[in-house]
Amino acid sequence: MNRDWLRKDFYRLLDVDEDADQAVIKKSYRRLAQKLHPDANPSDDTAAERFKEVSEAYSVLSDPDRRKEYDQVRAMGAGGFGGGGFDRGSGNFGGGGQVRFEDIVGGFRGGGLGDLFGFGGARRGPRRGADVSAALDLTFEQAVKGATTAVAVDSDVRCGRCGGNGAEPGTQIDVCGGCGGTGTVASNQGFFSFTNPCRQCGGSGRMIDSPCAGCRGAGHERKARTIKVKIPPGVKDGNTIRLRGRGSPGLQGGPPGDLLVKLRVAAHPRFTRRGDDLVLKLPVSFTEAALGAKVEVPTLNGPVNLKIPAGTPSGKTFRVRRKGVQRRRGGPGDLLVTVSVTVPPKLPRDARKMLEEFRDRYETDDPRENF
């Protein structure tokens, strides 16, 4: 329970009536949480703040005992504070003990949306480690064919000196005398009782005699690591690969977070991609285009032969089957070859004469007649 309940309107935050039953509250919360979840709104601080408020509101209203307490506080706030109502700041006692944002996100990611009751009560105890982000540069070929490579990550790892418990090796870890190891202390304020994190141990429930010299008691240290990553074929620039459990270590026995590797794919001097197809612009001479030819076409797996039929116009595209990007499922895409007819920048005198002759005898149609 919490003093700043006085200025918070959990019913309004959850968009439900004061007499809403649990099913209605849960449904409304689920809708809002999905809409406002940080995963769905990256770098949106307003959504993050609202998600936090909605989660706090739900953690109270979904618990019948806490909801009853809240209703009592609310009745007192409306009647006893000059009718100032909620959200006007008049009842702000600045009390602590709010549900921490990290706890909620951790609960979400650990249990999924179905585990709605997972974070109503427990505020301490095992917590999932943070997700860690890293960027990885790939060549065009690596992205198309897949690769096993390494990504450099600078993140928290479990302290090697203390093994993560924060105590200098060989020294004692005691149960906190302030809270008896529970991490929270209750205090009575007239009619109400308040639960707050224990100040002596900071909510951990333990007292460390000598903090670890390696991590100053934090249990983790910053370290540069190199992590092997298997890139599946067909990834695209901007894709993110999630490596489960390779993020920051969990707290108090919680599971580790994930490593999110964002891929940056370099351009290729010849090829571009259109979905799972590779696209190539291929120069051909004007005699190859006019007379037909068999030409060698590069692919990412060595050259193949392509037959250019006589009378091929510049800009025509040929499809070479299965020489594109390997799909996750099914075979590879195709290679699309668009020919571009080249013209010699300079002609020898006799060649020019031959072409003039050709023009005068055969080039009778106007090429712009039907365009």
Instruction: List contacts with Zn ion (CB under 5 A).
Output: 159, 161-162, 176, 178-179, 198, 200-201, 212, 214-215
Give me the least distance between CB of 14 and Zn ion, in Å please.
32
Which is nearer to Zn ion, 200 or 326 (by Cβ)? 200
Rounded distance, CA 51 to CA 69, Å?
A: 23
Which is nearer to Zn ion, 138 or 176 (by Cβ)? 176
Which is nearer to Zn ion, 17 or 174 (by Cβ)? 174
Count H helices and E strands in the chain, helices first.
8, 15
Which is nearer to Zn ion, 47 or 207 (by Cβ)? 207
Burial class (CB in 10 A: 0-12, 13-18, 19+), 165: middle
Give me the least distance between CB of 138 and Zn ion, in Å please.
36
Neighbouring C-beta atoms of residue 337, cutoff 10 Å: 24
Give me the least distance between CB of 176 and Zn ion, in Å please.
3
Give me the least distance between CB of 194 and Zn ion, in Å please.
16
Q: What share of the chain is helix, strand, coil (3-state, %, to 5)?
A: 25, 30, 45
User: Can you give the three-state secondary structure of 337-366, one letter per residue?
Assistant: EEEEEECCCCCCHHHHHHHHHHHHHHCCCC
Give me the least distance between CB of 226 and Zn ion, in Å please.
22
Could you give the angle at the alpha carbon of 123 between the alpha carbons of 118 and 126, nearest 5°?
A: 80
Residue 101 contacts residue 107 (beta carbons within 8 Å): no
Rounded distance, CA 74 to CA 52, Å?
A: 20
Which is nearer to Zn ion, 198 or 280 (by Cβ)? 198
Give me the least distance between CB of 159 and Zn ion, in Å please.
3
Residue 69 contacts residue 192 (beta carbons within 8 Å): yes
Task: Report residue 188 as tokens.
Answer: 């009575």
Which is nearer to Zn ion, 74 or 127 (by Cβ)? 127
